C-alpha cells in the first residue's frame, strides 16, 4: 500500500468565544496512525482559558504566536505558572496537568506534537478535562464526588455543574489569573528564537535543537525537537534519520518545495509547502527542501530524544567519508568524474545558500 505523505492542514475539533482547538486526523494524514504521531493546535482569543486537562500522550508544545500564561503540574509536584511567548518550547510528559490563558488582544496559538503509542486512538491525542460539561467529575455520582472531596451534596453540585463550557471558555475581563514567576520557566521552557544556535550558516540557515541537554524534560517525553530557519532560495541538504526515527514537520512561516525519496529510489512526495501545513517523513526516507524567496521555517519532532541524522550532500555527508575507489565503482564513473564530485561542497554543511 502506498502511503499518502501529502502535507495537510488541521480541522477544528471544538471552540467557542474563548478560542478553538484544531487537530490533524489520521483519516486525512495516514502517517499519523502509521507512525503513532499526534498533532494539534490551540488558539486562544483575549481572556480565553483552556481549562485544566491531562492527555494520554507525551507532547512538545511550541508557541507559534502571541503571549500568555501556562499552568503546569507534574505528578505530585507544585503548580508552575509560566509566562509564555512566541518561540517557546515546552516538554509535556505523561501525567502532566496543564491550563492555558491569554490576557492579550493578539491571539495565542500553540502547536502540540507528540507520540500516541500508548494513546486510546493511534494518531490522535485524547484530553481528559478536570472541569466543564465534559469534565471527569460530571461522570461520577454526587455520592462518589462528595466522599472524594469531603463535601456536602449541594456544594458538589455547585462545583461540578457551574462550569457549562467545554474545554475552552472566555473569562470576564476583570478576572485575575495567577501571575507567572520567572523562576518557574527554568527547566520547563526553551525559547527557540533566543537560544544558542546549534547550526548557523551565513545566508543558508539556522537550527536550534531541543534535547536532554538544554531541556531535561525531553528525556521524559521520549523524543527531541528542533526549529529550523532557512533563508530565501536556500536548500536543506538531502538527509535521513539514521536511528529509525520519524520526522514530523510543521511549517511555521514562509514556503518552499519539498521532495521525499523512499525505497528503490522512488520519489514519494514532491510538492509546494506553505505555513500551517504538516507532513511526516517515514523512517529512513530521504527528505530535502528548497525555500521560496521569503525563506521558510519549520518546527519538527524526531521520535528519539537525541536524534542522529545522516546527510547525503555537503561537507559532513557520507560521500566525503567513502574512499575514491568505492565511489568510482558505485557510480561506475572515471576517476576524473569522482574527483570533480568530491571536490564540491567542501565547506557547506546541511544548508546550501543560493549561488551568487
Domain locations along the chain = 11-132+167-185, 192-352
- With a cut of 80, say whether residue 157 has pLDDT above it: yes
What mean pLDDT is predicted for residues 159-165? 95
Contact 95, 55 (CB under 8 A): no
Q: Please, what is the average pLDDT of the chain? A: 94
- With a cut of 90, say whether residue 69 has pLDDT above it: yes
Residue 142 backbone dihedrals phi, psi, to 5 degrees:
-60, -35
- Percent share of the chain, pLDDT over 70: 99
Asked, colleague to colleague, whether 11-132+167-185 and 192-352 share their fold, the answer is yes
- With a cut of 60, say whether residue 103 has pLDDT above it: yes
Element containing residue 240 per DSSP (H, E): strand 235-241
**pLDDT tens profile 225-270:** 999 999 999 999 999 888 777 889 999 999 999 999 999 999 999 9
Torsion of CA 294, 295, 300, 306, to 10 degrees: -160
What mean pLDDT is predicted for residues 136-143? 96
Helix (H, G, I), strand (E, B) or coil at 277: coil
**343: its cell numbers:** 571536490
Contact 260, 2 (CB under 8 A): no
Contact 231, 199 (CB under 8 A): no
Contact 279, 268 (CB under 8 A): no
**195: its cell numbers:** 537560544
The contacts of residue 292 (CB under 8 Å, 6+ apart) are 232, 233, 254, 255, 256, 257
Query: Distance between CA 121 and CA 56 in Å, rounded?
Result: 9
**pLDDT tens profile 265-314:** 999 999 999 999 999 999 899 999 999 999 999 999 987 777 778 888 98
Helix (H, G, I), strand (E, B) or coil at 292: strand
**277: its cell numbers:** 501545513
Beta partners for residue 126, in sequence order: none
The top-scoring range by mean pLDDT among 64-68, 223-227, 319-323, 345-349 is: 64-68
Q: What does the DSSP 8-state code read for residue 57? A: S
- With a cut of 70, say whether residue 23 has pLDDT above it: yes
- Percent share of the chain, pLDDT over 90: 84
Query: Distance between CA 258 and CA 273 in Å, rounded?
Result: 7
Query: Distance between CA 226 and CA 207 in Å, rounded?
Result: 7
Scanning the structure block, which residue is given the C-alpha cell 546527510?
A: 311
Which pLDDT score is estimated for 355? 81
- With a cut of 80, say whether residue 125 has pLDDT above it: yes
Contact 262, 4 (CB under 8 A): no
Residue 218 backbone dihedrals phi, psi, to 5 degrees:
-55, -35
Using a 10 angstrom Cβ sphere, with 0-12 exposed, 13-18 middle and 19 or more buried, the burial of residue 38 is buried
Query: Distance between CA 167 and CA 147 in Å, rounded?
Result: 26
User: What confidence tier does 332 reach under pLDDT thresholds 50, 70, 90?
Assistant: very high
Which pLDDT score is estimated for 212? 87
- With a cut of 80, say whether residue 76 has pLDDT above it: yes
Which pLDDT score is estimated for 317? 87
B/e letters for 280-289, b = 16+ CB within 10 Å, e = fewer, are: bbbeebbbbb
Parallel, antiparallel, or unpaired for β 37-44 and 88-92? unpaired
- With a cut of 70, say whether residue 219 has pLDDT above it: yes
What mean pLDDT is predicted for residues 98-115? 97
Beta partners for residue 67, in sequence order: 85
Of 3.40.30.10, 2.60.120.10, 2.30.60.10, 3.30.1330.30, the CATH number of 192-352 is 2.60.120.10
What mean pLDDT is predicted for residues 329-356? 89
Question: Is the whole model's pTM more than 0.85, yes or no?
Answer: yes
Q: What does the DSSP 8-state code read for residue 355? A: P
User: What confidence tier does 2 reach under pLDDT thresholds 50, 70, 90?
Assistant: confident
Which pLDDT score is estimated for 319? 87
B/e letters for 306-319, b = 16+ CB within 10 Å, e = fewer, are: ebeeebebbebbeb
11-132+167-185, CATH topology level: Jelly Rolls (2.60.120)
Amino acid at each position: 500500500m502506498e502511503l499518502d505523505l501529502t502535507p495537510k492542514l488541521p480541522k477544528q475539533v471544538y471552540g467557542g468565544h474563548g478560542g478553538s482547538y484544531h487537530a490533524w486526523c489520521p483519516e486525512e494524514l495516514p502517517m499519523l496512525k502509521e507512525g503513532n504521531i499526534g498533532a494539534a493546535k490551540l488558539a486562544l482569543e483575549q481572556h480565553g482559558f483552556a481549562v485544566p486537562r491531562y492527555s494520554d500522550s507525551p507532547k512538545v508544545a511550541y508557541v507559534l504566536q502571541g503571549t500568555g500564561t501556562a499552568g503546569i503540574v507534574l505528578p505530585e509536584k507544585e503548580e508552575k505558572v509560566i509566562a509564555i511567548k512566541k518561540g517557546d518550547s515546552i516538554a509535556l510528559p505523561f501525567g502532566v496537568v496543564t491550563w492555558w490563558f491569554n490576557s492579550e488582544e493578539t491571539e495565542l496559538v500553540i502547536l502540540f506534537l507528540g507520540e500516541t503509542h500508548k494513546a486510546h486512538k493511534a494518531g490522535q491525542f485524547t484530553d481528559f478535562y478536570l472541569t466543564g460539561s465534559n469534565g471527569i467529575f460530571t461522570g461520577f455520582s454526587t455520592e462518589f464526588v462528595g466522599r472524594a472531596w469531603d463535601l456536602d451534596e449541594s456544594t458538589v453540585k455547585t462545583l461540578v455543574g457551574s462550569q457549562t463550557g467545554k474545554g475552552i471558555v472566555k473569562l470576564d475581563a476583570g478576572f485575575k489569573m495567577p501571575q507567572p514567576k520567572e523562576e518557574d520557566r527554568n527547566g520547563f521552557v526553551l525559547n527557540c528564537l533566543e537560544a544558542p544556535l546549534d547550526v548557523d550558516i551565513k545566508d543558508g540557515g539556522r537550527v536550534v535543537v531541543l534535547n536532554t541537554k538544554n531541556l531535561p524534560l525531553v528525556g521524559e517525553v521520549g523524543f527531541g525537537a528542533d526549529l529550523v530557519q532557512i533563508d530565501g532560495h536556500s536548500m536543506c541538504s538531502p538527509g535521513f534519520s539514521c536511528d529509525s526515527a520519524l520526522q514530523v514537520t510543521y511549517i511555521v512561516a514562509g514556503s518552499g518545495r519539498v521532495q521525499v525519496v523512499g525505497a528503490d529510489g522512488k520519489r514519494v512526495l514532491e510538492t509546494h509547502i506553505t505555513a500551517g501545513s504538516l507532513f511526516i517523513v517515514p523512517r529512513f526516507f530521504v527528505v530535502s527542501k528548497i525555500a521560496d524567496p521569503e525563506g521558510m521555517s519549520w518546527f519538527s519532532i524526531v521520535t528519539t530524544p537525541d536524534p542522529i541524522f545522516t546527510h547525503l550532500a555537503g561537507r559532513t555527508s557520507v560521500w566525503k567519508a567513502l574512499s575514491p575507489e568505492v565511489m568510482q565503482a558505485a557510480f561506475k564513473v572515471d576517476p576524473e568524474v569522482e574527483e570533480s564530485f568530491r571536490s564540491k561542497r567542501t565547506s557547506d554543511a546541511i544548508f546550501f545558500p543560493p549561488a551568487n
